[in-house]
């Protein structure tokens, strides 16, 4: 339990564990007695998740490729920090500028673009020009000779944007290098016309001196104003190149803060930037994978113009945050916390609990819930520790730890915490308990298949390539036609698309996107012409399933105020003495879901028609050819098997029997579905089969269940 002093101490722990260099987060850590500065100074040495493979790729692209560099990954996976690390290591050879859309996206000129590339380009050029002038790209100490004469007493560090602008004015009027497209030609002619008769206009140095001495004259001021209007980012880059002979890297960071329709336009701007500056500068885009594409009608296929570094790529070990990586990050940050606070009672408790978690699967679950976001995984770690300290007396934990029973306690607490946090994730997972209860309360007249799930699966099939790279947008009309084959009305589909679009996870945002994101404010905003796409988070969601076998029950109980099953133990966690009871209840729940889905699939078989209806259904509405319930069952079987090593021998044997029962349920469920047609009159009574197995050992002869005693008339439920 946490007292007031512990709460303050834990807040400091959370601040250090979740610290990020991202400027959007740093602002929340002001006024902390120098802690932010200390953490920032030591970040790369002691807190950074080192990705040498990614850093090498980024450096190779900067040094050896003239293409746009796209660094892709979900929010919080380390795009900004990795980029800054590389740029810092290259600072002797490359100057850099960062356009941070945390600040820029809310500017009026960006907000008003609404996907119009011409307006977006104007806003981008202004933002880049302003940033180049504000930063040290044209370091005052290195301005062209004489650029700041007449400003006695000013040190180089005190020289301002005006000094830099004067350097650009002289570049525009007196540069001997060839300017792009004869820029400033009229300004040069005007200057020579003004100086004629006062100095020898064939003498460049004489004209330059005259210009500096007459800056206060009205006509010179007007000339300078015209030059200011003409100066573009490319001119500033030219001056920097002329001064330093070093490269320049421009980073577009936090691009996801822009309107959805504007994010792909960053690639169009980047390609235009490349055409103008050629090899004098490199542009990098830090972006989420679902937005890493160019719109139709842009400058050719993205792959032809863009180098890509994926910080997170599901299924690729190198790009995947695993338990060892997470421990490495966590251990570094915990050591900094201990150094900062010393040996307190709270720090000792945190060390013991974190150590106990080390060999558990808990971190894997946290990483999965965080969807590979380092930032979110660290936040979840802190949330879970707070949950442990708040619900379990530390003395009880220590007592259990003496005989290794604490492992079961932590597993149980983790499940309880996930259930309590489940209100955020509830409707993004398969809430089977809700489906069953709703169907049973309406006499099974409600449909059993989850329409939102079918929509996500259909989009996954149609909107993302096998490599997860290319996103295509599907017209709502095409989506309603597909789901119409299953008997769903267009209005049902439209309402569910609207629901899915606004169903936001507090950490990850939308799971689908629509073509007019910024103007969708009610169901009527979505028309037949609206296009829909599944984004990276949506794909990750639809390809994953809940591995907590009684997650949905507890979740439904907590969020719907419905007394399905009561699982809470003495200290607010699951009682492992009742572990088998809870698992058994959920296997029975799965049997009820199997019966409900079978009734629904018979209706769908009648809607699609033909003996090949099942092949058509699997092709369009399943992941890897596996039915929705099959995937959930297989995931829960894996979880039960993994948990058996924590259980007593009696409960372990009970859980082993439940695993065999679920395998049997899968076998009969898939067999039944494959035999379905619109005229099917009888189905297996899955509830009766499972009930038979959980009361006894699973029989070795499965033919036992082929008997008519284990079948039921489908019209009882249809």
> Could you report the per-residue pLDDT of 168-198, keeping only the tens digit for each?
788 888 877 666 666 788 888 888 888 888 8
| pLDDT at residue 89, rounded to an integer | 92
Model confidence at 578, in pLDDT bands (50, 70, 90)? low
Q: 396 or 573: which carries more pLDDT confidence?
A: 396
pLDDT of 642 > 80? The answer is no
Helix (H) or strand (E) run with residue 534 in it: strand 531-534
| pLDDT at residue 124, rounded to an integer | 93
User: Chain-wide mean pLDDT for the chain?
Assistant: 75
Pick the range with the lowest mean pLDDT from 182-191, 204-213, 300-309: 300-309
Instruction: Name the percent of the chain lying above pLDDT 90.
Output: 12
Mean pLDDT confidence for 545-570? 39
| pLDDT at residue 423, rounded to an integer | 41
Model confidence at 673, in pLDDT bands (50, 70, 90)? very high
CB 347 within 8 A of CB 338: yes
| pLDDT at residue 643, rounded to an integer | 63
The token duo for 266 is 């960053």
Sign of CA dihedral 122, 126, 129, 135: negative
Mean pLDDT confidence for 11-28? 73
| pLDDT at residue 122, rounded to an integer | 93
Model confidence at 299, in pLDDT bands (50, 70, 90)? very low
| pLDDT at residue 297, rounded to an integer | 43
Mean pLDDT confidence for 641-665? 79
Instruction: Name the percent of the chain lying above pLDDT 70.
Output: 68
Q: 645 or 297: which carries more pLDDT confidence?
A: 645
Strand, coil or helix: what is 231?
A: coil
Task: Sort 296 into a burial class: Cβ within 10 Å, 0-12 / 13-18 / 19+.
Answer: exposed
Mean pLDDT confidence for 96-124? 88
Q: 593 or 86: which carries more pLDDT confidence?
A: 86
pLDDT (tens digit per residue) in 445-489: 555 567 877 888 888 876 655 444 455 678 889 899 989 888 889
Mean pLDDT confidence for 205-214? 87
Model confidence at 573, in pLDDT bands (50, 70, 90)? very low
Mean pLDDT confidence for 293-307? 57
pLDDT of 650 > 80? The answer is no
pLDDT (tens digit per residue) in 330-365: 888 988 998 888 878 888 888 877 777 765 555 666
| Alpha helices, H only, 99-160 | 101-104, 108-111, 117-134
CB 334 within 8 A of CB 95: no
pLDDT of 412 > 50? The answer is yes
pLDDT (tens digit per residue) in 61-80: 999 888 899 998 877 888 99
| pLDDT at residue 116, rounded to an integer | 87
pLDDT (tens digit per residue) in 133-142: 776 666 543 4
For residues 82 and 80, give the distance between their C-alpha atoms in angstroms, rounded to a whole number: 6
Which pairing describes strands 531-534 and 512-514: parallel, antiparallel, or unpaired?
A: antiparallel
| pLDDT at residue 169, rounded to an integer | 82
Phi/psi for 475 (5° steps) reads -60, 140
| pLDDT at residue 666, rounded to an integer | 92
| pLDDT at residue 360, rounded to an integer | 53
The most confident of the ranges 228-242, 429-443, 569-583 is: 228-242
The token duo for 37 is 């500065």
pLDDT of 224 > 80? The answer is yes
For residues 613 and 632, give the distance between their C-alpha atoms in angstroms, rounded to a whole number: 23
Q: 115 or 592: which carries more pLDDT confidence?
A: 592
Model confidence at 409, in pLDDT bands (50, 70, 90)? low
**Per-residue buried b or exposed e for 107-131, using 16+ beta carbons within 10 Å of the residue's own CB:** eeebeebebebebbbebbbbbbbeb
Name 196's bridge partners: 199
pLDDT of 546 > 80? The answer is no
Mean pLDDT confidence for 105-130? 88
Q: 9 or 718: which carries more pLDDT confidence?
A: 9
Question: Which is nearest to 579 in space by CA: 657, 663, 654?
Answer: 654
pTM: 0.61
Q: 83 or 2: which carries more pLDDT confidence?
A: 83
| pLDDT at residue 574, rounded to an integer | 41
pLDDT of 709 > 60? The answer is yes
| pLDDT at residue 668, rounded to an integer | 92
Pick the range with the lowest mean pLDDT from 286-300, 666-680, 681-695: 286-300
CB 435 within 8 A of CB 448: yes
pLDDT of 94 > 80? The answer is yes
pLDDT of 146 > 80? The answer is no
Model confidence at 623, in pLDDT bands (50, 70, 90)? confident
């Amino acid at each position: 339990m946490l007292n007031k002093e512990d709460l303050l101490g834990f807040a400091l722990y959370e601040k250090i564990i979740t610290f990020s260099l991202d400027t959007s987060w740093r602002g929340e850590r002001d006024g902390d007695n120098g802690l932010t500065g200390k953490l920032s100074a030591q970040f790369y040495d002691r807190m950074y998740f080192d990705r040498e493979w990614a850093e090498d790729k980024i450096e190779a692209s900067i040094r050896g490729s003239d293409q746009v560099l796209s660094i892709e990954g979900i929010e919080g996976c380390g795009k900004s920090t990795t980029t800054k690390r590389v740029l810092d290591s290259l600072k002797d050879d490359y100057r850099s500028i960062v356009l941070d859309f945390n600040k820029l996206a809310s500017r009026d000129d960006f907000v008003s673009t609404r996907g119009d590339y011409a307006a977006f380009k104007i806003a981008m050029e202004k933002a880049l020009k302003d940033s180049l002038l504000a930063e040290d790209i044209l370091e005052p100490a290195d301005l062209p000779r004489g650029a700041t004469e007449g400003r006695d007493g000013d040190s180089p560090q005190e020289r301002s944007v005006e000094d830099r602008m004067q350097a650009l004015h002289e570049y525009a009027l007196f540069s001997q290098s060839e300017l792009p497209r004869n820029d400033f030609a009229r300004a040069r002619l005007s200057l020579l016309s003004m100086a004629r008769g006062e100095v020898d206009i064939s003498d460049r140095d004489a004209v330059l001196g005259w210009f500096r001495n007459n800056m206060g004259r009205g006509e010179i001021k007007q000339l300078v104003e015209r030059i200011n209007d003409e100066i573009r980012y490319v001119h500033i880059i030219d001056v920097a190149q002329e001064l330093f002979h070093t490269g320049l890297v421009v980073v577009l960071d936090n691009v996801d803060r822009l309107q959805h329709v504007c994010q792909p336009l960053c690639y169009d701007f980047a390609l235009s930037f490349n055409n103008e500056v050629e090899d004098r500068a490199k542009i990098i885009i830090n972006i989420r994978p679902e937005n890493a594409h160019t719109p139709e009608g842009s400058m050719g296929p993205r792959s032809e113009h863009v180098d890509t570094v994926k910080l997170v790529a599901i299924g690729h070990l190198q790009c995947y945050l695993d338990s060892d990586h997470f421990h490495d990050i966590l251990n570094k940050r915990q050591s900094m916390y201990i150094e900062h606070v010393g040996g307190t009672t709270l720090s000792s408790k945190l060390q013991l609990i974190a150590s106990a978690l080390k060999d558990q699967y808990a971190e894997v679950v946290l990483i999965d819930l965080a969807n590979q976001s380092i930032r979110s995984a660290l936040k979840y770690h802190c949330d879970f520790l707070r949950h442990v300290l708040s619900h379990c007396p530390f003395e009880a934990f220590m007592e259990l730890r003496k005989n290794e029973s604490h492992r079961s306690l932590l597993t149980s607490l983790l499940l309880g915490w996930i259930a309590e946090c489940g209100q955020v994730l509830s409707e993004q997972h398969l809430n089977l308990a809700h489906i069953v209860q709703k169907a049973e309360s309406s006499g099974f007249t409600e449909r059993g298949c989850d329409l939102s799930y079918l929509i996500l699966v259909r989009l996954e099939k149609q909107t993302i390539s096998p490599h997860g790279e290319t996103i295509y947008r599907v017209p709502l009309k095409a989506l309603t036609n597909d789901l119409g084959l299953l008997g769903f009305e267009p209005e049902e589909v439209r309402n569910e698309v609207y629901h899915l679009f606004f169903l936001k996870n507090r950490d990850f945002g939308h799971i689908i996107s629509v073509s007019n994101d910024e103007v969708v404010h009610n169901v009527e905003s979505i028309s037949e012409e609206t296009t829909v796409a599944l984004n990276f988070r949506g794909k990750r969601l639809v390809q994953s399933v809940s591995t907590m076998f009684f997650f949905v029950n507890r979740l439904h109980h907590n969020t719907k105020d419905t007394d399905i099953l009561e699982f809470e133990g003495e200290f607010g966690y699951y009682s492992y003495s009742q572990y088998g009871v809870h698992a058994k209840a959920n296997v029975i729940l799965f049997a009820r879901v199997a019966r409900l889905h079978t009734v629904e699939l018979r209706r769908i078989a009648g809607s699609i028609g033909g003996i090949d209806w099942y092949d058509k259904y699997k092709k369009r509405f399943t992941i890897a050819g596996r039915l929705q319930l099959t995937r959930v069952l297989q995931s829960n079987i894996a979880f039960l098997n993994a948990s058996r090593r924590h259980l007593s021998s009696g409960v372990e044997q009970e859980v082993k029997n439940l695993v065999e029962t679920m395998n049997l349920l899968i076998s009969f469920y898939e067999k039944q579905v494959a035999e379905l047609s619109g005229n099917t009159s009888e189905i297996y009574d899955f509830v009766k089969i499972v009930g038979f197995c959980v009361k006894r050992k699973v029989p070795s002869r499965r033919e036992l269940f082929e008997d008519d005693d284990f079948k039921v008339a489908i019209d009882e439920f249809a």
